[in-house]
Structure 1
Amino acid sequence: MTISEHLTEFGGLQVRQWNPGDPLGDPATTIHRISVDWDDEQPWVQKFRAFLELPGVGASRGFVVGWWGTEDSEAPAADVVEALVAAHAALPELRVLFLGDVTYEENEISWIQQADLSPLLAAYPHLTHLGVRGGNNLSLGRLSLPELRHLIVQTGGLDVSVVREVMTAELPVLEHLELFLGTEGYGANSSVDDLTPVLDGTLFPKLTYLGLKNSDHQDQIAQVLADAPVLTRLEELDLSLGVLTDEGGQALLGSQAVRGLKKLHLVHHFMSEDMVARLEALPVQVDVSERQEDDDDWRFVALGE
C-alpha cells in the first residue's frame, strides 16, 4: 500500500488545496490544505502567513497541513507546529486538523519527521477531529481533548511512547480511534500488552470504531480482542493492513462479540481461502479483500516505507 492521493474530505468537510492568490472556500463546507513542492521558492510558513491575512479566515473550521519541506525529505515539522500555535487566536473556530497529508510521491511515510504536538493541542483545545501522518519524533504529550471524537495516527512504525500516550489520554467523547501500528522494520516497538487499557471498554466510553491495524502482530491483537469487553460496545472493528493469518481469523470466528458488530474490516491479510469463506458467512458485514498469498518467510504490513 502506498498513499498516492491527498485527502478530499476530513471531519465531514471538503478539503481544497490553497495557494497564494486563491480565494477562500465556503467555511461551512470547505477546509484548506497548504503544501509546498520540492523546488518551491516560498516556504510553507510563508504561505501559511499569507493564508492568515485573507478576509474571513477566522471562520475556518479546519485545516490540513500538506508537505512542508522544499529541499529536505527529513525536514522536521517543528516550524509548522510553531506557526500553527502562534496562529491560534486568528483561527478561533478551528475544530478539524490533519497534520501530514503527504503522498508517497512527495515523501515516504517512513521519512516524515513529526514533532512534539502537545503545544499545538493545547492551543486548539476544542478539536473534534485530529489526524497525523508520520511517526518519527512524534509525541502527543498528555493528551486531553474534551471534544475530540475522531483520532487517526498513520505510521509505518509507531513508537510505543505514542501508543502509551493514547492509552492514557483523556478523550471522554472519542468515537473513532484508528492507529496504524506498523512494522518493527520501520520503528514499531509496542506489544499487545500496551493496548490493554482500551480493551476493557472503559477508557473511551463513547467508542464505536476501533482500528488497530497495519501491524506485524495482527494475529495477537485479534486474539486479545476476541474476548475483550470493548468489543461488545463497538459497531466497527478494523484489523486491516497487517499480518493477519488463519490463527487470528480463527479467534475472530470463535468470538460471540464479533457477531454483534456492524462491520469487520480485514483488508490485506494472509488468511486461507477457507478461512475467508467462513468469515464471510458471519452475520455481519465483513471486508476480507486484498488476500495475499501466504509465505512464512515473507509476510508484510501494507504500509511500511
Structure 2
Amino acid sequence: MSNYDGDERFAGLPIAELNPMVNPKATRADNAAARNAKPLPAAADAAWRLRIEGYPSSEKFTEHVARFLDTVDTTLVTAVLVGMWEPGEDSKEAVRSLVDAADRLPALRHLYFGDITPEENEISWILQSDITPLFEAFPRLETLIVQGGQDLVLEPVRHESLRHLEFRTGGLPARVVRAVGASTFPALRTLELWLGTDEYGGDATVRDIEGILRAGGLPALTRLGLMNSEIQDEVAAAVSASPVLGRLTELDLSMGALGNEGAEALLIGQPLGHLRVLNLSHHFITPAMRERLTAALSAPGLALDLGDPQQADDDGEEAWRYIAVAE
C-alpha cells in the first residue's frame, strides 16, 4: 500500500522534483543539494512531485508551483504528485494553485494529491479541504489518488474521463463517501476507499455506501475496494447482496476488521466464482472459517488472499480488532 512503486515511479514514470532553492536561514551543509543542482529530466519523461521541504522553508507552496511552471514545459507533463504543503495548514491553497494552473497543464492525466510521508505528517493528520474543483479543472484526468481525510470535502460531480479513483485515509468522512455514490463517472473502472475508523473521522455507515453499491453512476466499474474499515463485517454483508457485485472482477475488503461474520456473509451471499481477485488480507477470521472460505472459493481463476491474519476470536472471547492504517 505504498504511495507509488517501490522504485519511485508513479503512473509508469520515474518521479522527479525541482532542485531545492538555497535557504538563507539554513546551514551550508543543508544547502548542499541546492548548490549541487542536477539537470532535470525532460518534462514528459517524469512524474513531477511538488512539495516544500524544511522548516522554515525557503519558499511557500504557491511559490514552488510557480517555479515549477516557469522551469518545466508543463504543457507536456502527464503526471503530478502534490506532496507536503505548509505544515499545519489545510490543502486549500494547494488546490487553488493547481486549479489556477490548469491551462498550463493540458496534458495532465494522473494526479496524486497528498503524497505525504509519515515522517512528514501522519495520514490522519493531513489537513485536506474541498477537492471538488480538481475534478472540474481537469476534465481529462484519468487517475486521482487523494491521501488524508481530515476536513476533506467533495460535492457530487460528473467526470467523463476518470478511470481510477482512490481515497487513502485513516478516516474517510461519510459526506465524501455519499458524494462518490452520488457522482457520475462513466469511465471509472477502479474505485478504492479506505473508510478508516471513527476516531479519525471515518464516520461512514453501510447506508452511506449504498449509492456506490447500486453503481448507477459507475457503469464501467470492475474493481471495487472498500477497505481499512472497522465495520468490515457489515460492509462485506452489504457488498455480498449488492447489485454491483456481479459486475466486478476484483473485490478488495482488505486492511480492516473483517471476522467470521463478514466471511459467512460472503459465503451465503451471491456467487463469487466470477471474480478474478478477492482480497481479504489483514483480517480476524478464525482458521476454521479460513478453511471454509478456501474450500468454497476454489474456482479456477479466482485468487483468494487471506494473508496477514490477526488474532481472531478464541474460545468465546472477542479479540480486539483494529484496522491496518489509522493514525
TM-score norm. by structure 1 comes to 0.92
Per-residue CA distance 1:35-63 (angstroms, 9 max, x = gap): 22242322222222111112522110121
1:67 maps onto 2:84 in alignment: yes
Match of 2:24 in 1: none
User: Does residue 299 of the first structure (1) align with residue 293 of the second (2)?
Assistant: no
- 1:1-305 residue pairs with structure 2 within 5 A? 8-20=8-20, 23-39=39-55, 40-69=57-86, 72=87, 74-281=88-295, 282=297, 283=299, 284-294=302-312, 296=318, 298-305=320-327
1:4 touches 1:103 (CA, 8 Å); kept in 2?
no
Alpha-carbon separation, structure 2, partners of 1:239 and 1:84 = 33
CA contact (8 A) 1:19 1:34 kept: no
Q: Which runs of 4+ in 1 moved over 4 A?
A: 3-7, 20-24, 26-29
Q: Report how far residue 24 of structure 1 moved.
A: 4.5
Instruction: State how far apart, in whole Å, the 1-side matches of 2:273 and 2:96 are.
Output: 46
- Asked which structure has the greater RCO (Cα within 8 Å, sep 6+), the reply is 1
- C-alpha distance in structure 1 between counterparts of 2:292 and 2:117, whole Å: 36
Structure 1 position 27, deviation (Å): 4.9
Distance change (3 Å), C-alpha of 1:258 and 1:16 = farther
* Number of aligned residues: 300
| CA root-mean-square deviation | 2.0
8 Å Cα contact 1:67/1:100 also seen in 2: yes
User: 2:50 is matched by which residue type in structure 1?
Assistant: I
Structure 2: 5+ residue stretches without partners = 21-36
Closer/same/farther in 2, CA of residues 219 and 43 from structure 1, 3 Å limit: same
CA drift of 1:261 comes to 0.3
* Superposition deviation, residue 76 in structure 1: 1.0
Does the Cα contact within 8 Å between 1:130 and 1:152 map onto a contact in 2?
Answer: yes
Distance, in Å, in 1 between the alignment partners of 2:42 and 2:307 is: 37
Percent identity over the alignment is 40
> Which residue in 1 is equivalent to 2:29?
none
CA deviation profile, 1:183-240 (whole Å, cap 9, x unmatched) = 0111111110111122234331100100001111100111111122211110000001
CA offset digits 1:228-281 (Å, max 9, x no partner): 221111000000111100111112123443121000011111001122233233
* Greater radius of gyration (CA): 2
Q: What is the one-letter code of the residue matched to 1:224? A: A
Q: Cα offset for 1:17?
A: 3.6
On the 8 A contact 1:172/1:204 being kept in 2, the answer is yes
Q: Does the Cα contact within 8 Å between 2:279 and 2:306 map onto a contact in 1?
A: yes
Structure 1 position 297, deviation (Å): 5.3
8 A contact 1:6–1:103 mirrored in 2: no
**Structure 2 length-normalised TM:** 0.86
- Farther-moved stretch of structure 1 (37-46 vs 261-270): 37-46
